[in-house]
C-alpha cells in the first residue's frame, strides 16, 4: 500500500536531523517545503476564519441494513438497472480538514468548522507529518482542495494519557476530542509532538486533473503523495458492501484509530452527478453507523472518588472484560441517585457501554442474574480520602466532603481562601496556590502561615534570582498581612458551605469570635436575623468536624486573628430594615454609608422594591428615586440619613 511509510520513523528522524544540520550551516538552502519547515518556531495569536469555497456537508446516516437497502432502492429509481459499484470506506472518528494546494504546494489548511466557515489552521496542518507539503508526480494539478480526517493514533493517545496519569493530571477523554483540541493549539509544535495523522478521501475542487470515479480519485491522491485509508474497498453491489460492514464491525478494534461506521459512496462520478443532492445531503452517499459497543460483566465493588470540589463520585470496579478492544475494569456511576435509580449493587451483572469516552458507563443491571443475598448500596457518610463527614444537601445529587482541608479539595479551597474578598493574601494567585498544594508545602490553610522565605523562593523557581527574591519577600509580607483580616473575611475564606460574604458578616458581628461561633448551638445561630436554618446547620456541621477544629486551633497558634477587635455593634436599631443607596453623598463614600447601616443591623440592597425601607438619595439621584416615589418608599436625603444614623 502506498499509504505505508516507505522508511521507518527512526530513519526519518535521522534524515531530518541531518537536514537540520545542513540547513543550519547553509540557510540559503532552506526551502518552504523543506520538512524542517513543518513546524514554525513561534506560536501564533489566533486563527483567522476561512469561508469554504465548497461547503463541507455532512452525510445522511443510518444505523440499520434495512435503511441501507432503501438507500439503494432510491438510487435504482433514478439510474435503472445499470451496474452499481460502491466505494466502501471506514468512517474515521476524527476531525474533518480541507487542504488547499497551489501548483503542487500546500498553501492552506482549514478545519470543517460549521461546514461553511472553518479555522485557518495552516501552521498546525503543516506540522502533521503525513500531510505532503509538496505534491509528487508529473501531472500535479494547478489548483486542488482535498479533504480528509485528522486523527490521534490510539497508541500515541494511550501513551499520552499514561504520562498524564503519572504526572497526576486529568486524563483526556477520547482521541477524537484530543485531536480536535490539539488542532486548535496555538503552538504547532504541540501538533508535531503529539503525532497526529491524517487520511484523505475526497476532492472538493481541482483544476488541471480529472477523475472518472471515487476509486480512481483515491488512487491518484496516493500518486500525489496523500495518505488514503488502506482498507477502502470497491464493492460490486450492496451485498459486497454488507460483507465489508460486518467484517469491520468485528475487526474495528484492531485498527490504530477509532471508526464509528462505514461511508458508502456510488463510485462512478457521472452517476453521482446524475443523482445530485437533496436539500441537505448528497443522494449518492450514506454513512452507516455502528451500534454502541456493549459488554456484560460483574460489579465486584463500588468505590468512591473525591473530586476537587469535594464531590464524591462512585465508581464501579468490574470483573475485567474486553470491550471495544481494551480491557475494562472500571465504569462511572456518576452519583448515588444514579445508583439508586438503576439499583446497581455489588455482585450484580451489568451491561456496560463505551461511547467516545475513556471511562465506560453502566447502562443497566441484568436483574435475572442478581445474587439472592445482594443488598442495596449505601453511600459512605465519611470522605474516603480524609475521613471527615460527607453530606448530601437536600435537593442536590452529589454528596460532598465537609472538610475544607481535605487533600482532595485543598487546591480549590486555598484559592478561595486567598481571594481578595476573603483573606486577600497579596501575591498568592491561583497558579501559586496550586503549586503550594501539589508540592505538599500546604496541607491546610494554617500551613500557609508556617512558610518561610526560603521555601517561597524555592517555590517561585528562581530563574531570575533577583526578581524572584523580591516576589518571595512580597509574598511573605502578603501572607503576614492577611493574618490581621477582619473575622468576617476569615469566616468567608474558610469556605463553609452556604456561608457567603453576607452570612459571614452577620455571624462575625453577632458572635465576634471564632470560639463563640464554635460554641454556639444550631438554634443560637439560627436565631440570628437573616441567618436561615440551612446556614446554621452547615456552620454547626463544619465546626463539629475534628479536622476543622484542629485547623481553627492551628490558625490561632499561627497568629491569625479570630476575634472581632473593633467596637461592639452600635445597636440593632436598623434590624429588619433594607436600605438602597443612590446618588452622591458628601459626607460618606458608598462603602462608609453601607458600613454605618450594617453596623446598626440594617441591610443594603442594590435595587428598589416594595421591601425597601428607605432610599438614601444623594446628589444627582436618578431612576431609583423615581422608582421609590412610585412605590411610596421613604426617601432620606443626606441630612435625614445623618439624623437617622444618630438615632441608632
Instruction: Indicate the residue among 400 and 510 with the shorter CB distance to Zn ion.
Output: 400
Q: CA 162, CA 491: separation in Å to the nearest integer?
A: 40
* 543 and 549 Cβ atoms separated by less than 8 Å: yes
Instruction: Indicate the residue among 309 and 589 with the shorter CB distance to Zn ion.
Output: 309
Residues forming the site for Zn ion (CB under 5 A): 383, 385-386, 401, 403, 406
Written as one string, the DSSP assignment of 605-616 is: ESS--TT--EEE
42 noted as active-site residue = no
CB of 390 to Zn ion, least distance (A): 7
The number of angstroms, rounded, from the C-alpha of 349 to the middle of its chain's C-alpha atoms is 32
Please list the residues that pair with 199 across neighbouring strands: 149
Q: CA 16, CA 48: separation in Å to the nearest integer?
A: 30
Backbone angles phi, psi at 202, to 5 degrees: -155, 160
CB of 383 to Zn ion, least distance (A): 3
Written as one string, the DSSP assignment of 398-435 is: -EEE--TT-TTTHHHHHHHHHSTTTT--TT--HHHHHH
Q: CA 69, CA 64: separation in Å to the nearest integer?
A: 9
CB of 406 to Zn ion, least distance (A): 3
CB of 335 to Zn ion, least distance (A): 16
CB of 305 to Zn ion, least distance (A): 11
Strand order in the sheet with 259-266: 61-62, 285-289, 259-266, 85-92, 233-236
Instruction: Indicate the residue among 385 and 503 with the shorter CB distance to Zn ion.
Output: 385
CB of 168 to Zn ion, least distance (A): 17
CB of 308 to Zn ion, least distance (A): 11
Instruction: Indicate the residue among 444 and 564 with the shorter CB distance to Zn ion.
Output: 444
Q: CA 148, CA 200: separation in Å to the nearest integer?
A: 4
Backbone angles phi, psi at 575, to 5 degrees: -55, 130
Instruction: Indicate the residue among 403 and 482 with the shorter CB distance to Zn ion.
Output: 403
Catalytic residue among 91, 265, 354, 624: 91
151: buried, middle or exposed (CB in 10 Å: 19+, 13-18, 0-12)? buried
CB of 388 to Zn ion, least distance (A): 5
* Continuous segment of H or E residues that includes residue 554: helix 546-557
Written as one string, the DSSP assignment of 606-647 is: SS--TT--EEEE-BT--HHHHHHHHHT-EEE-HHHHHHHHHH
Instruction: Indicate the residue among 203 and 304 with the shorter CB distance to Zn ion.
Output: 304
Q: CA 467, CA 461: separation in Å to the nearest integer?
A: 11
Q: CA 609, CA 10: separation in Å to the nearest integer?
A: 74
* Continuous segment of H or E residues that includes residue 316: strand 311-323
390: buried, middle or exposed (CB in 10 Å: 19+, 13-18, 0-12)? buried
* 376 and 345 Cβ atoms separated by less than 8 Å: yes
Instruction: Indicate the residue among 323 and 385 with the shorter CB distance to Zn ion.
Output: 385
300: buried, middle or exposed (CB in 10 Å: 19+, 13-18, 0-12)? middle
Written as one string, the DSSP assignment of 465-519 is: HHHHHHHHHHHHHHHHHHTT--HHHHHHHTT-TT--HHHHHHHHHHH-BHHHHHH
* Continuous segment of H or E residues that includes residue 49: strand 49-51
Instruction: Indicate the residue among 227 and 400 with the shorter CB distance to Zn ion.
Output: 400
Instruction: Indicate the residue among 229 and 335 with the shorter CB distance to Zn ion.
Output: 335
Q: CA 112, CA 55: separation in Å to the nearest integer?
A: 9
Instruction: Indicate the residue among 160 and 413 with the shorter CB distance to Zn ion.
Output: 413
CB of 400 to Zn ion, least distance (A): 9
User: Which active-site residues does the annotation give?
Assistant: 91
Amino acid at each position: 500500500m502506498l499509504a505505508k511509510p516507505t522508511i521507518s520513523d527512526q530513519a526519518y528522524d535521522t534524515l531530518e536531523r541531518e537536514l537540520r544540520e545542513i540547513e543550519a550551516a547553509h540557510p540559503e538552502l532552506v526551502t518552504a517545503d523543506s520538512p524542517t519547515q513543518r513546524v514554525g518556531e513561534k506560536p501564533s495569536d489566533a486563527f483567522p476564519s476561512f469561508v469554504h469555497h465548497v461547503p463541507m456537508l455532512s452525510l445522511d446516516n443510518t444505523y440499520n441494513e434495512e435503511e441501507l437497502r432503501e438507500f439503494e432502492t432510491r438510487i435504482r429509481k433514478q439510474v435503472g438497472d445499470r451496474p452499481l459499484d460502491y466505494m466502501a470506506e471506514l468512517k474515521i472518528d476524527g476531525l474533518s480538514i480541507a487542504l488547499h494546494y497551489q501548483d503542487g504546494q500546500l498553501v492552506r489548511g482549514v478545519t470543517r468548522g460549521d461546514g461553511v466557515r472553518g479555522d485557518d489552521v495552516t501552521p498546525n496542518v503543516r506540522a502533521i507529518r503525513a500531510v505532503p507539503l509538496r505534491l509528487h508526480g508529473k501531472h500535479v494539478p494547478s489548483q486542488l482542495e482535498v479533504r480528509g480526517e485528522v486523527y490521534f493514533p490510539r497508541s500515541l493517545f494511550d501513551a499520552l494519557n499514561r504520562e498524564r496519569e503519572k504526572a497526576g493530571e486529568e486524563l483526556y477523554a477520547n482521541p477524537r476530542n484530543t485531536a480536535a483540541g490539539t488542532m486548535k493549539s496555538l503552538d504547532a509544535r504541540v501538533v508535531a509532538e503529539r503525532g497526529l495523522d491524517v487520511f484523505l478521501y475526497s476532492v472538493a475542487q481541482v483544476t488541471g486533473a480529472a477523475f472518472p470515479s471515487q476509486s480512481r480519485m483515491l488512487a491518484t491522491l496516493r500518486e500525489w503523495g496523500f495518505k488514503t485509508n488502506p482498507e477502502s474497498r470497491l464493492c460490486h453491489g450492496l451485498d459486497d458492501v454488507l460483507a465489508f460492514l460486518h467484517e469491520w464491525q468485528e475487526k474495528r478494534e484492531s485498527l490504530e484509530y477509532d471508526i464509528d461506521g462505514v461511508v458508502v459512496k456510488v463510485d462512478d462520478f457521472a452517476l453521482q452527478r446524475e443523482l445530485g443532492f437533496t436539500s441537505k445531503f448528497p443522494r449518492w452517499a450514506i454513512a452507516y453507523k455502528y451500534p454502541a459497543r456493549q459488554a456484560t460483566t460483574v460489579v465486584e465493588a463500588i468505590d468512591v472518588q473525591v473530586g476537587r470540589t469535594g464531590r464524591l463520585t462512585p465508581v464501579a470496579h468490574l470483573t475485567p472484560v474486553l470491550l471495544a478492544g481494551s480491557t475494562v475494569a472500571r465504569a462511572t456511576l456518576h452519583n448515588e441517585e444514579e445508583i439508586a435509580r438503576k439499583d446497581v449493587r455489588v455482585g450484580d451483572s451489568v451491561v456496560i457501554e463505551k461511547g467516545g469516552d475513556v471511562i465506560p458507563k453502566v447502562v443497566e443491571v441484568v436483574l435475572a442474574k442478581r445474587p439472592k443475598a445482594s443488598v442495596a448500596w449505601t453511600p459512605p457518610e465519611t470522605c474516603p480520602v480524609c475521613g471527615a463527614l460527607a453530606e448530601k444537601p437536600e435537593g442536590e445529587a452529589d454528596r460532598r466532603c465537609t472538610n475544607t482541608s481535605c487533600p482532595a479539595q485543598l487546591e480549590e479551597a486555598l484559592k478561595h481562601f486567598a481571594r481578595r474578598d476573603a483573606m486577600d493574601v497579596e501575591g498568592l494567585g491561583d497558579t501559586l496556590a496550586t503549586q503550594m498544594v501539589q508540592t505538599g508545602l500546604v496541607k491546610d490553610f494554617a500551613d500557609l502561615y508556617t512558610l518561610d522565605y526560603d521555601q517561597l523562593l524555592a517555590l517561585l523557581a528562581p530563574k531570575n534570582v533577583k526578581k524572584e527574591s523580591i516576589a518571595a519577600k512580597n509574598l511573605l509580607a502578603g501572607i503576614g498581612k492577611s493574618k490581621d483580616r477582619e473575622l468576617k473575611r476569615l469566616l468567608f475564606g474558610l469556605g463553609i458551605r452556604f456561608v457567603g460574604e453576607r452570612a459571614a458578616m452577620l455571624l462575625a458581628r453577632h458572635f465576634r469570635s471564632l470560639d463563640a461561633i464554635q460554641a454556639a448551638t444550631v438554634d443560637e445561630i439560627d436565631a440570628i436575623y437573616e441567618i436561615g436554618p440551612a446556614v446554621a446547620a452547615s456552620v454547626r456541621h463544619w465546626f463539629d468536624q475534628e479536622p476543622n477544629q484542629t485547623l481553627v486551633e492551628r490558625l490561632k497558634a499561627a497568629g491569625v486573628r479570630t476575634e472581632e477587635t473593633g467596637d461592639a455593634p452600635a445597636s440593632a436599631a436598623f434590624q429588619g430594615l433594607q436600605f438602597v443607596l443612590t446618588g452622591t453623598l458628601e459626607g460618606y463614600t458608598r462603602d462608609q454609608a453601607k458600613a454605618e447601616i450594617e453596623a446598626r443591623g440594617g441591610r443594603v440592597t442594590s435595587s428598589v422594591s416594595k421591601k425597601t425601607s428607605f432610599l438614601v438619595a444623594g446628589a444627582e439621584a436618578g431612576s431609583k428615586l423615581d422608582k421609590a416615589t412610585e412605590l411610596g418608599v421613604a426617601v432620606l436625603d443626606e441630612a435625614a440619613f445623618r439624623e437617622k444614623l444618630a438615632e441608632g
